[in-house]
Amino acid sequence: MKMGLELEATQSVIDEKLLFVKVHMPWDVLCTYAEVLHIKLPIQPNDLSCHPSPWRCLSFLTKPFYPSEELITKEAEFFTAAFEKDRLDYFYMKDKDTFFTPSMRSRMAYYILSRAPYEIRGNIKKFGITKLLGGGVYKAAYPLHDCRFNVKSKEDDCPNERYLLYQEWANPKSFYKMQPLDLIRKYYGEKIGIYFAWLGFYTIMLTLAAAVGLGCFIYGYRTQDTSQIVMCPQCDRECKFWRLNSTCELLFLFYSLLHPLPVHFLAVVTLFLEFWKRYQAELEYEWDTVEFLEQEEPPRPEYEAKCIYERKNPVTGVNHIHTKLRTQDLRELEPLKEYVTPQMATSVTASLISFVVIMILNVLYERVAIWITDFELPRTKTDYENSLTLKMFLFQFVNYYSSCFYIAFVKGKAVGYPGDPVYLLGKYRNEECDPGGCLIELTTQLSIIMGGKAIWNNIQEVLLPWVKNLIFRYFTRVTSQKVIPRWEQDYELQPVSQLGLFYEYLEMVIQFGFVTLFVASFPLAPVLALVNNLFEIRVDAWKITTQFRRVVPEKAQHIGAWQPILGGIAILAVATNAMIIAFTSDMIPRLVYYWSFSVYPYGNYSNHTMEGYINSSLSIFSTSHFSNESMPIATYNITTCRYRDFRYPPGHPRQYEYNVYYWHVIAAKMAFIIVVEHIVYLTKFILSYVIPDVPYAVREQIKREKYLTQVILHETNLKLVTKRLKPINEETLKDTAMKMAMEELDPDF
């Protein structure tokens, strides 16, 4: 109340011991804190003509896929400027009551509540609603929804934005419609709006990749092969001989790699990142976050409470509080997980166990990352989230991807041959890949982790909040005919996490890593990600609209630290996919055989065929050469068996040594990695250079807005000066103001 707020206490209808305190913002307080928070408000309608879309002739086909224009009308576009209380007359204001939107009011109210002091003892100061919530003085603090999500308010002045969002966005019946991003931003703030804009843009990118991946998968299934070759056991004593046809139903995945899917997909990823920058620039301008800089963001209350020292800012010359803490950004690495899975059934079981371990470690990593970030004490909320984002992603990167990297690049790479296997510590035989190959095992691991993670997240995001709300309403039900007010209905909903959208971004970025880093091993990964994201958009929309209290609207210029992380994943994906194709799949051996060793008839280099490839890719081993430790218990009178390698057969002068085919394959693999990486990186660089980050139309609108702002400011300053001087011609004042504004924008003017 000392800071200008008006408070109104109301008794609870359900619980007599519960008291609600409603916060009201008077006009003068709104104007003061709108200037403090640099809130941008309209100064003039946008007078720059927009170029019509070349696809407008097809609007009748796309209209059903957009929200109803009768319910959600398009808002007028304005040039905006940071609000200044002394220049109120220069802002475009039709109605004083609606000049500040509800999201702006909520943001300003929360700013005051989070900094209002309530106790001072010497050098120790206590302030902020967050600390009161932690101490149990208040049970909750939240902005109110404007109406029920499934019932339209009967009040004439109620905007019913929550009802509109549910009908056209969160309702399962509207799953095929585009998102009303402007209304999402208006109701929930720019931070949530930019998340759903990014999620929708990412889902559209997956559509093209999913179509290509599905085509490669279908073609690979049609080209599968069978065989009846006897293969050597894959472990000592207990393992048996097996026939190659026992895994041929899975070998079609190898053939799908003959297509240049990874190269095409990584090009799509590059286009996605570049076009997202352009789309993000458009949203930055439309949502007035172009100049949302760090100096405009206030420090976190936790930072202000712990920092009692002052230091002069070298830029502004103003003293700011700071901390003397010096912390280091710690890193932890999780050891690689190992699996002893010689058979496909065991591979699936191990993948399930791995998934359970990953889910358990998530809890531990989360607590460690939060503890380290709290210890660092970042100054602003953006700094805090960026620091936590980096740590959590590094932890989750190791947690989710370590087993996949192990299967792809370590497992089965140094196993020797049946007569001379490689042992670890002299007693443990180095494990080999599944009979179908390491690629099959990698695919199994990816599909189980991706599918299990999606199912588990949906249970957490949908089922748990719904059950909690159901239980809460059951125990707080009102038997009388009393009307439950809006603030009490919202109290029955689930509270919003302090980390907000952090876990939503983390879930999607981890998925992005699975899709990009290992797409060469699992062409269906984009398909699964696309299906998941189509549900994810509506699940997140349904969750925040119906099951959670309204979040405090926050400003956000972009997706924060997640953007460079996405770029880093895209760069790493080039190397991982090239190495998967070269060392994990059999694409390179097939190509080498096709171009170098498959000439029929001999000497005629115009004819090439894959006939005889399987026989040439499997070396021969004599069962009489088994050592006593590795000799199978049951030999079934088998004299020879085959194993995956390129070695000379028994009886050859160089028996069991690598043959010439092996060295051809090694050279081809290294050449393939170098060529593919250079091609993809060059393509990425060219696309990044050719596609500008900010569209031309947006640049022009930004210049126009700055020009108008400078004119208004200079006109006001000149009028204040001329009150004390002799009258000057009004036209001269305007010309001088315009000239000064142009000089601000262009020094060469």
pLDDT in tens, 83-116: 888 888 888 888 888 889 888 999 999 999 988 8
Got the DSSP string for 471-540?
Answer: HHHHHT---S-PPPPHHHHHHTSBPPPTTTTHHHHHHHHHHHHHHHHTTTT-TTHHHHHHHHHHHHHHHH
Query: CB-based contacts of 160: which residues, under 8 Å, 6+ apart?
Result: 146, 147, 152, 153
* DSSP secondary structure letter of residue 291: T
Assess contact for 351 and 443: CB atoms under 8 A: no
Average pLDDT, the chain: 78
Bridge partner residues of 622 (DSSP): 640
Mark whether 63 and 162 lie in a shared domain: yes
**How large a percentage of the chain has pLDDT more than 90?**
13
pLDDT of res. 102: 87
Which residue blocks in 189-260 are alpha helix, DSSP H? Answer: 190-222, 252-256
Distances (CA, A) of 213 to 218, 219, 256, 516: 9, 10, 9, 12
Distance CA 95, CA 97 (A): 5
* Between 49 and 385, residue with greater pLDDT: 385
- Of 337, 327, 329, nearest to 369 by C-alpha is 329
pLDDT of res. 338: 34
Has residue 77 been placed in a domain?
Answer: yes
Assess contact for 422 and 429: CB atoms under 8 A: yes
Number of domain units in the chain: 3
Has residue 453 been placed in a domain?
Answer: yes
Distance CA 83, CA 575 (A): 49
Has residue 663 been placed in a domain?
Answer: no
Q: In the predicted model, is pLDDT for residue 423 greater than 50?
A: yes
pLDDT of res. 390: 87
Mark whether 158 and 194 lie in a shared domain: no
Mark whether 11 and 75 lie in a shared domain: yes
Q: Give the pLDDT band (50/70/90) at residue 608.
A: low
Distance CA 725, CA 671 (A): 79
Assess contact for 542 and 463: CB atoms under 8 A: no
- Of 183, 192, 254, nearest to 225 by C-alpha is 254
pLDDT of res. 336: 27
pLDDT of res. 541: 92
pLDDT of res. 258: 43
Q: Give the pLDDT band (50/70/90) at residue 325.
A: very low
pLDDT of res. 295: 44
The region of weakest confidence among 154-163, 435-444, 482-491, 701-710 is 435-444
pLDDT of res. 142: 93
Distance CA 347, CA 448 (A): 11
* DSSP secondary structure letter of residue 746: -
Q: Give the pLDDT band (50/70/90) at residue 328.
A: very low
Structure tokens at 37: 């928070």
Mark whether 129 and 185 lie in a shared domain: no
Domain around 136: 6-168
Structure tokens at 255: 């053939």
Q: In the predicted model, is pLDDT for residue 605 greater than 70?
A: no
Has residue 315 been placed in a domain?
Answer: no
CB burial class (10 A; 0-12, 13-18, 19+) of residue 86?
exposed
The region of weakest confidence among 134-143, 199-208, 470-479 is 470-479
Mark whether 461 and 517 lie in a shared domain: yes
Mark whether 160 and 230 lie in a shared domain: no
- Do strands 423-424 and 428-429 pair parallel, antiparallel, or not at all (unpaired)? antiparallel
pLDDT of res. 734: 57
Q: In the predicted model, is pLDDT for residue 415 greater than 70?
A: yes
Residue 462: count of CB within 10 angstroms of its CB: 16
Residue 579: count of CB within 10 angstroms of its CB: 19
Has residue 478 been placed in a domain?
Answer: yes
Mark whether 689 and 708 lie in a shared domain: no
The region of weakest confidence among 155-164, 322-331, 426-435 is 322-331
Structure tokens at 651: 């009886």
pLDDT of res. 299: 67
Mark whether 61 and 33 lie in a shared domain: yes
pLDDT digits (tens, 9 = 90+) for 513-532: 988 888 877 778 888 899 99
Mark whether 163 and 292 lie in a shared domain: no
The region of weakest confidence among 32-36, 253-257, 633-637, 652-656 is 253-257
- Decide which of 135, 168, 201 is a domain's last residue: 168
Please give the average per-residue pLDDT across 660-686, as a whole number: 87
pLDDT of res. 326: 39
Mark whether 263 and 365 lie in a shared domain: yes
Assess contact for 44 and 92: CB atoms under 8 A: yes
Q: Give the pLDDT band (50/70/90) at residue 294.
A: very low
Mark whether 115 and 213 lie in a shared domain: no
Distance CA 96, CA 129 (A): 29
Assess contact for 336 and 397: CB atoms under 8 A: no
Q: Which amino acid is at 219?
A: Y
pLDDT digits (tens, 9 = 90+) for 332-365: 323 323 353 345 566 677 777 877 888 788 788 8
Structure tokens at 671: 């050449």
Structure tokens at 622: 């004599």
The region of weakest confidence among 209-213, 301-305, 598-602 is 598-602
Query: CB-based contacts of 155: which residues, under 8 Å, 6+ apart?
Result: none
Distance CA 674, CA 667 (A): 11
Mark whether 88 and 185 lie in a shared domain: no
* Between 478 and 576, residue with greater pLDDT: 576
Which residue blocks in 41-160 are alpha helix, DSSP H? Answer: 59-62, 102-113, 129-134
